[in-house]
Amino acid sequence: MPGPAFATGDTVSLHPVEEEDYEFVQRGRNDPSTRVPLTDTTIRTRDDVAEMFEDREYHFLACVDGDPVGVVAFAYVQEDSGFGSLMYWVAPEHRGEGYVTEATSLFLDYAFGECGFHRVGARVLVTNEASTAALESLGFEREGRLRDTCRLDGEWVDSYQYSLLAPEWLE
């Protein structure tokens, strides 16, 4: 059971990731339907998951009714330029419920409003229509197309690059 929520929406709440959450994160990250769109070919052990969360401030569990459904995070941060690279996923059994959009909205409120980030970027495979729709519904602007960024089933796939600026989110 995740610790106390630090942000709560209509359905989703965000919680810091605790050691007891590692099994959920490991299962979710290792699922091919999560791992492949994240362009992460590494199969994660429990120790790998623990290492992922060492010294990482911007990683949170997305929960519904106190149960974890996914993760929203900055995969990396450039503190000096106020930039964070967005990453999110929802476990397969919880997809299609709008949890990504709500959890990301809560996360962006925190990143822009409390932490003072100026720009949030996101990359999404052109084949990931659900993620593209989520980003666009949140106001992210498509900046371009990156060619041959990932191999899926032996074929190279392009990615879209998106961004959102603090003034666009906070207005």
Q: Which CATH number does the domain housing residue 57 bear?
A: 3.40.630.30
Residue 2 lies in a domain: no
Q: Kindly state whether residue 1 falls inside one of the protein's structural domains.
A: no
How many domains does the structure of the chain reveal?
Answer: 1
pLDDT along the chain (171 residues), means of 10: 88 94 91 83 85 82 96 94 96 95 98 97 95 97 96 90 97 84
> Domain range for residue 100?
7-170
Q: Is 35 inside any structural domain?
A: yes
Q: What is the pLDDT of residue 55?
A: 67
Strand order, beta sheet including 119-125: 7-8, 12-16, 59-64, 67-78, 83-90, 119-125, 155-165, 141-152
